[in-house]
Amino acid sequence: MKNSKIRVTVWNEYMDEQKQPAVASVYPEGLHKTIAEFLNMEEDIEASTSVITDAEQGLSEEALGGADVLIWWGHVHHGEVEDRLVRRVVDRVQRGMGIIFLHSAHKSKPFMTLLGTTGYLSWREAEERCRIWTASPAHPIAEGVPGQFVLEHEEMYCEPFGIPRPDDTVFISWFQGGNVFRSGVTFQREYGRIFYFQPGHETYPTYHNKHVRQVIINAVRWAKPVAQIAARDCPKVEALEKI
Ligand code: ZN
């Protein structure tokens, strides 16, 4: 039974600023622990966590080795992630591992490398209301998610968003200050499925919201590998028919 579960690694920076009272009051053990905890309440998911201060910045072969899906939360330490580890993550996605980028992971090296764009957006931290609209109700990531729901406080991210044209725009968000954003978008890079989801500023209780949790649970199930390749070398093959 254990092997049939979707194995998830939740990666977070979790440096000192995430241990400050403003964040710790919302996520006492770090938001990565909160995310892993609600994922582990699902029978078909087995989640573990790693952080940037772990061995090989939490991206060791051990940490990634069994992962079907990697969840990435980063904010102010993107530049510190070693390029060789970024290549390891990108390589795994291209060969089939799913990856879910949360909130400010839009400027992480794996996000920009996989998508080939800047992740440009504009932002504002003003305790404003955010209304998330389900733009693709038939998408598996939207299953059980209402047509729209409200987060009382969220950091505003707005268009234009520096991403390639998504395969699907599952969610769009409206912010109290008038801005809008493609807040839930999917991509595929070779064998790997990619989902970006904007809500999740560290001082707001976003990952305690039941709809946000449902989106992330759905995204894990959607992003699990469908097919994988072991090697990257281009093999020479024999002809199937007489030439
Ligand atoms: Zn933020």
What phi and psi, each to the nearest 5 degrees, are found at residue 209?
Answer: -75, 130
Q: Are strands 180-189 and 69-73 parallel, antiparallel or unpaired?
A: unpaired
Q: pLDDT at position 175, please?
A: 98
Domain contains 83: yes
> Does some domain include residue 87?
yes
Residue 66 is predicted with a pLDDT of 87
Nearest to 181 by CA among 197, 167, 200, 194: 197
pTM for the predicted model, two decimal places: 0.96
pLDDT number for residue 3: 61
- Cα(127) to centroid(ligand 1), Å: 11
Tell whether 39 is covered by a domain: yes
CA quadruple 95, 54, 83, 89: dihedral, nearest 10: 10
Q: Does 49 map to a domain?
A: yes
Instruction: Report yes or no on 161 lying in a domain.
Output: no
Specify the number of domains making up the chain.
1
Whether the upstream peptide bond of residue 166 has omega within 30° of 0, thus cis, is no
Quick one: pLDDT at residue 33? Answer: 97
Are 141 and 166 spatial neighbours (Cβ–Cβ below 8 Å)? Answer: no
In a domain, 240, yes or no: no
The domain of 14 spans 6-117+184-223
In terms of Cα–Cα distance, which of 142, 131, 96, 128 is closest to 204? 128
**228 alpha carbon – ligand 1 mean position (Å):** 33
Euclidean distance between CA atoms 181 and 53, whole angstroms = 32
Report the separation in Å between the CA atom of 104 and the middle of ligand 1, taken as the mean of its atom positions.
6
Given this model, what pLDDT does residue 1 score? 44
CA distances from 229 to 93, 153, 192, 204 (A): 10, 42, 10, 39
Residue 102, domain member (yes or no): yes
Q: Distance from the CA of 241 to the center of ligand 1, in angstroms?
A: 57
Mean pLDDT by 10 residues, the chain (243 residues): 83 92 94 98 98 96 92 96 97 96 98 98 97 98 98 98 98 98 98 98 97 98 91 89 96
CATH code, domain carrying 61: 3.40.50.880
Q: Rounded to an integer, what distance in angstroms lies between the CA atom of residue 186 and that of residue 166? A: 6
Q: Residue 84: its pLDDT value, please? A: 98
Nearest to 96 by CA among 230, 237, 228: 228
Task: Say how many C-beta atoms besides its own lie within 10 A of residue 228's C-beta.
Answer: 12
Q: For residue 200, how far is its CA from the centre of ligand 1 (angstroms)? A: 7
The distance between the two most distant Cα atoms of the chain, rounded to a whole number of Å, is 72
> Distance, CA 167 to ligand 1 centroid (Å)?
25
pLDDT score of 237: 93
Decide if 75 is inside a domain.
yes
